[in-house]
Amino acid sequence: MLKEKRNKGFVANLVVAAIVLTCSIAFFVYHQSLSSSKPADFPAFNSEATQPKNGLVSIDVYGISKRPIAKVDNKTEIWLVAYQKGYVGLQADKNDKTIKKLQNKAEQLKNKPEKLVVKFYNVRTGSTKKTIKNYSGYMRNFFLRYPKFSRYFSFNTYLSLSGAKSDNLFTLLIGIVCLGIALFFLGNAFFVRKKINQAYDDFYQEYPELQGNVEHLLSEAQFHDAELQIVIYKNHLITYYKGFAITDLRQTVQLYHHILKTYSGFFVTNRQSTLIAIHMQDGKQKKQRLAFKNTGKHTDEQLQSTFAYINDHFPTIILGV
């Protein structure tokens, strides 16, 4: 039985908007916590024994090399920094402000170390996609020339300023994206409700005898495909799949079936069917979309009975082109 449902789809869109908005707020809160955190909030770097918090650690920098000791993909550089127990590589973007700050304070660092929050990487236990390729091997070859440093250098771990900043920026961007999606679903909720309400109002204005009795529409219709959820009542084509939409066949010059397919690899995972009705308004074409139920590969074949009825009763309409 067909029932008047003016809020169909409205609540579902609101629920999705609320869920995504909650995710957005969570990312913003996490971003804020990272931005306002202090080095004391994170465990101190201790070579391979380090237990990072959310991938981050703190380090007291007692010294820094005058030049980078390696370049990574022409995007970032590795600097040699001294900490309390030895030396470690510090990854940073080119012209990084923190590196410049450390270099400007280089002579003071030994007595007054600079505290940093950085991302921790272990090349032995971490993902090879996330860590610098062949970091350990490159560093071992590099330090063959500097044996006094190699004894105290951490070859299997390194720290990253760029990684910490990237993660922080990533959480902010994800929060913004989620907020945008939430606003889209919120706006779509009211748009869909307005569209459905307008369709009901237009229908009742045309057929006041069905005002408040829309359930009689199916039994009194001239044509009805229950599976596709398509109805033709007098001069109007109506679809009631996931909403309510109508179009005046007397004003329609062309009607065709549009299928939107969603793929996963080589396989079709979803099909959405829409009837596109074209009207001429002030000498210009105006398209109207009416969603109906897609039943699978043979939906278009099943739709032919609808087109056959329209062709018999509204022969001026161009169908399926």
The residue type found at 133 is K
Tell me whether residue 10 is in a domain. Answer: no
Are β-strands 153-160 and 86-93 bridged in parallel, bridged antiparallel, or unpaired? parallel
| Calpha distance 176→183 (Å, rounded) | 11
198, part of any domain: no
Residue 61 sits in the same domain as residue 141: yes
Residues 137 and 46 placed together within one structural domain of the fold: yes
Same domain, 50 and 146: yes
Q: Residue 321: pLDDT above 60?
A: no
| Residue 84 placed within a domain | yes
Q: What is the DSSP letter of 209?
A: G
* pLDDT value for 140: 93
Task: Identify whether 193 is part of a domain.
Answer: no
- Work out the pLDDT band at 1, boundaries 50, 70, 90: low
Q: What tokens were used for 106?
A: 């280089």
Q: What secondary structure does DSSP assign to 16-45, as a single string?
A: HHHHHHHHHHHHHHHHHHHHH--GGGSPBP
Residue 128: the pLDDT is 61
Check whether residue 251 and residue 150 sit in a common domain.
Answer: no
Domain count, the chain: 2
Q: Could you give the dihedral angle defined by the CA atoms of residues 143, 148, 151 and 156, in that order, rounded to the nearest 10 degrees? A: -30
Same structural domain, 81 and 154: yes
Whether 68 and 148 map to the same domain: the answer is yes
**pLDDT higher than threshold 70 for residue 268:** no
Q: What is the pLDDT of residue 289?
A: 93
Establish if 31 belongs to a structural domain: no
Confidence of residue 261 (pLDDT cuts 50, 70, 90): confident
Q: Looking at residue 127, what is its pLDDT?
A: 65
For residue 279, pLDDT over 70 is answered with: yes
Q: Does 214 fall in a domain?
A: no
Q: Are residues 232 and 157 in the same domain?
A: no
Check whether residue 233 and residue 144 sit in a common domain.
no
- What does the pLDDT read at residue 305? 94
Residue pLDDT, tens place only, 9-58: 888 899 999 999 999 999 999 888 887 778 888 999 988 888 888 889 99
211 domain-assigned = no
158 and 237 co-located in one domain: no
Boundaries of domain holding 88: 39-162
pLDDT greater than 70 at residue 176: yes
pLDDT by residue (tens digit) across 72-116? 887 899 999 999 999 999 999 998 999 999 999 989 999 999 999
pLDDT of res. 307: 95
Strands (E) located in 211-310: 223-225, 230-233, 236-239, 245-248, 252-264, 267-281, 284-292
Residues 138 and 244 in one domain: no
Residue 303 lies in a domain: yes
Mean pLDDT throughout 263-281?
82
313 has a pLDDT exceeding 80: yes
The C-alpha atoms of residue 252 and residue 238 are separated, in whole angstroms, by 13
Q: How far apart are CA 318 and CA 53, in angstroms?
A: 65
Question: What pLDDT digit, counting tens, does each position of 150-173 carry?
Answer: 889 999 999 999 999 988 899 999
What's the pLDDT band for 211 if we cut at 50, 70, 90? Answer: confident
Q: Which residues face 116 on adjacent strands?
A: 59
Average pLDDT estimate for 142-146: 89
pTM of full prediction above 0.85:
no
Say what the pLDDT of residue 242 is. 86
> At 247, is the pLDDT very low, low, confident or very high (cuts 50, 70, 90)?
very high
Considering the domain architecture, whether residues 233 and 140 belong to the same structural domain is answered as: no
Percent of the chain with pLDDT over 90: 63
